[in-house]
């Protein structure tokens, strides 16, 4: 494959500039760079998704005949959107039509051959083969797309940060699988935000910085360069003052959450079994556990997005679920960032409108905001360094930029509780540190409590003082809750 003087512009903004690059047989490359470096844009050109660019992209006839496969978050979004057939089946895994199953997604409707079964076993998704795609966890969906792409035996496989959204055990399993792939003759291109994530088997690196090539060549030579090390260094930064509400609020007199004997099953599968949990005043909780253990289901019960919450003994800020409160009464308490809201956000929304929609708990802005709401939203965007994106369309941003916008949206109304499910997904080290500092700042103000989900070791806010963990037990999982001392690692 050869790229010659590739340039790409979105409206008046240059995204890629004069990219020339060649992959020789036997080489295995990774494209690395921080958020907005141009990695995904370059992958879109190689895969054929992007058409309007300047320059030449040449791929061998043999590679084209076998096809190209590209696994990324946007592909997951497209797959789920295509699979929406029944309105209620989006929320009910026991609905009449579960949609496309994991098995069908991988096999394309054909019988699974031995190679496919081996990859399914290797990726640990055999137990979900007959489950609908809409009803698997983010990590399980990620592994499904990987299995689908690998089983196509493409001439070129492109994987965008493949370990994102996976628990620690799955990350280790995938690294072993990637090493197996990279030792084969077929070319693989991996995209990463950090040079520390690189798996064994990568022979060459292409480093992008602000749409330009900073370095390219054999991995050892590139990593020895000081300018390459510098852009991935965890920079010290001064956190911009956050636009916190200075209005005095009463300290809550009741526990934030109380769950008594809560159980959820879908068809014959038990997801939650006799869960008892109390989240007290001023507690900030890390929710931990493997992919598919029930974390997302538990969060959907708390936020009221899961109809199975009704009839359960769940109390939120002193109000028992099912006591006559409306959906909007429930949502008013929460600011949420998760993959479901990210996947389902409507297209062609200006980023400023996405942030303002947090005041209304709507996915999109459908009413005229007040001047105060506009000022507050712009202030949050400025705090995260997003001033120049105010009028940019949300779906044209990189995944990492979209994630930061959604975080500003969750924080803008300063809710009683922030629920952040893998909020650092898609963020480089600098933006991750900035985000965690901002979360601590919000939590320390004393008005907002936190439920935080992360699979990344050490990427937790310092305010965390409770850990609720799904532990494997018998054929399912058991919830174990423990309080943490200040500074104690979960």
Q: What is the DSSP string of 276-292?
A: EEEE-TT-EEEEE--TT
**Per-residue pLDDT for 245 more than 80?**
no
Residue 150: name the closest of 83, 66, 74 by CA. Answer: 66
**The pLDDT of residue 249:** 56
SS3 158: strand
SS3 79: helix
Rounded Cα distance between 179 and 473, Å, is 31
Classify residue 360 by burial, with Cβ atoms within 10 Å: 0-12, 13-18, 19+.
middle
**The pLDDT of residue 85:** 47
**Token representation of residue 202:** 């990568």
Q: What is the CATH number of domain 2-231?
A: 3.40.50.300
Report which of residues 138 and 224 the model is more confident about: 224
Q: How confident is the model at residue 174 (pLDDT cuts 50, 70, 90)?
A: confident
304: left (phi over 0), alpha (psi -120 to 50) or beta: left
pLDDT digits (tens, 9 = 90+) for 319-356: 888 888 787 888 889 999 887 778 778 878 899 999 99
Give the angle subtended at the CA of 438 by the CAs of 437 and 443, to the nearest 5°.
100
Q: How confident is the model at residue 457 (pLDDT cuts 50, 70, 90)?
A: low
Report which of residues 247 and 370 the model is more confident about: 370
Per DSSP, which regions of 407-457 are E strands? 417-421, 449-453
Q: What is the DSSP string of 189-219?
A: EEEES-GGGPPTT--EEEEEETTEEEEEEEH
**The pLDDT of residue 93:** 47
Average pLDDT, the chain: 85
**The pLDDT of residue 247:** 55
pLDDT digits (tens, 9 = 90+) for 95-128: 445 678 899 989 887 889 898 999 999 888 998 8
Rounded Cα distance between 165 and 454, Å, is 8
Which of 34-38, 174-178, 208-212, 395-399 has the highest average model confidence (pLDDT)?
208-212
**Token representation of residue 329:** 């009464």
Q: Which of 162-171, 262-271, 417-426 has the lowest mean pLDDT?
A: 262-271
pLDDT digits (tens, 9 = 90+) for 58-96: 999 989 899 999 998 877 767 666 665 444 444 454 444
Sheet holding 466-473, edge to edge: 334-337, 417-421, 449-453, 284-288, 466-473, 476-483
**Residue-range domain boundaries for the chain:** 2-231, 257-483
Q: How confident is the model at residue 477 (pLDDT cuts 50, 70, 90)?
A: confident
**Per-residue pLDDT for 434 more than 90?**
no
Choices 3.40.50.970, 1.10.287.610, 1.10.274.10, 3.40.50.300: CATH for 257-483:
3.40.50.300
**The pLDDT of residue 111:** 86
Which long-range contacts does 183-187 make (Cβ < 8 Å, 24+ apart)?
185/25, 185/26, 186/153, 186/154, 186/155, 186/156, 186/157, 187/1, 187/23, 187/25, 187/27, 187/28, 187/29, 187/63, 187/155, 187/156, 187/157
**Token representation of residue 166:** 């996976």
Report residue 30: phi and psi, to 5°.
-125, 135
pTM of the model: 0.83
Rounded Cα distance between 8 and 211, Å, is 9
Rounded Cα distance between 230 and 228, Å, is 5
**The pLDDT of residue 89:** 46
Q: Which of 80-84, 271-275, 382-386, 436-440 has the lowest mean pLDDT?
A: 80-84
Residue 299: name the closest of 73, 451, 483 by CA. Answer: 451
| Domain 2-231 identical in fold to domain 257-483 | yes
Residue written as token pair 């997604």: 105
pLDDT digits (tens, 9 = 90+) for 256-305: 999 999 988 876 778 888 899 999 988 999 999 888 888 988 998 998 88
**The pLDDT of residue 240:** 58
**The pLDDT of residue 86:** 44
**The pLDDT of residue 373:** 94
């Amino acid at each position: 494959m050869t790229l010659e003087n590739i340039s790409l512009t979105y409206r008046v903004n240059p995204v890629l500039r004069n990219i020339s690059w060649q992959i020789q047989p036997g080489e295995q490359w990774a494209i690395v760079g921080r958020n907005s470096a141009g990695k995904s844009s370059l992958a879109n050109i190689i895969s054929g998704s992007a058409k309007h660019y300047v320059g030449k992209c040449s791929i061998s006839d043999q590679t084209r005949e076998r096809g190209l496969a590209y696994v990324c978050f946007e592909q997951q979004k497209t797959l789920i959107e295509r699979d929406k057939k029944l309105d209620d089946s989006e929320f009910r895994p026991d609905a009449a039509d579960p949609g496309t199953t994991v098995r069908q997604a991988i096999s394309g409707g054909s019988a699974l051959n031995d190679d496919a079964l081996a990859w399914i076993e290797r990726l640990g998704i055999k137990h979900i083969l007959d489950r609908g795609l809409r009803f698997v966890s983010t990590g399980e969906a990620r592994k499904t797309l990987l299995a689908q792409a690998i089983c196509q035996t493409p001439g070129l496989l492109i994987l965008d940060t493949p370990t994102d959204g996976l628990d620690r055990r799955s990350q280790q399993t995938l690294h072993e699988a990637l090493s197996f792939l990279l030792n084969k003759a077929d070319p693989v291109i991996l995209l990463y935000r950090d040079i520390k994530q690189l798996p064994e088997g990568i022979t060459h690196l292409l480093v992008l910085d602000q749409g330009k090539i900073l370095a390219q060549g054999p991995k050892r030579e590139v990593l020895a360069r000081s300018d390459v090390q510098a852009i991935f260094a965890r920079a010290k930064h001064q956190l911009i003052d956050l636009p916190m509400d200075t209005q005095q609020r009463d300290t809550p007199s009741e526990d934030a959450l109380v769950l008594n004997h809560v159980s959820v099953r879908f068809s014959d599968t038990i997801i939650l079994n006799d869960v008892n949990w109390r989240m007290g005043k001023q507690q900030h909780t890390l929710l931990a556990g493997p992919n598919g253990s029930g974390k997302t289901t538990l969060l959907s019960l708390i936020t009221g997005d899961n109809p199975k919450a009704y009839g359960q003994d769940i109390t939120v800020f002193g109000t028992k679920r099912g006591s006559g409160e409306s959906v909007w009464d429930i949502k008013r308490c929460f600011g949420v960032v998760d993959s479901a809201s990210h996947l389902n956000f409507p297209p062609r929304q200006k980023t400023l409108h996405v942030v303002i929609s947090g005041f209304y708990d709507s996915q999109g802005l459908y009413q005229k905001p007040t001047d105060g709401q506009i000022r507050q939203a712009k202030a949050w965007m400025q705090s995260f360094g997003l001033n120049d994106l105010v009028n940019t369309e949300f779906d044209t941003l990189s995944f990492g930029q979209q994630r930061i916008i959604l975080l500003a949206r969750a924080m803008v109304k300063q809710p009683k509780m922030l629920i952040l499910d893998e909020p650092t997904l898609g963020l480089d080290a600098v933006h991750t540190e900035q985000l965690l500092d901002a979360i601590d700042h919000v939590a320390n103000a004393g008005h907002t409590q936190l439920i935080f989900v992360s699979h990344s070791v050490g990427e937790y806010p310092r305010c965390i003082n409770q850990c609720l963990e799904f532990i494997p037990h018998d054929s399912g999982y058991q919830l174990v809750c423990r309080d943490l001392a200040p500074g104690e690692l979960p």
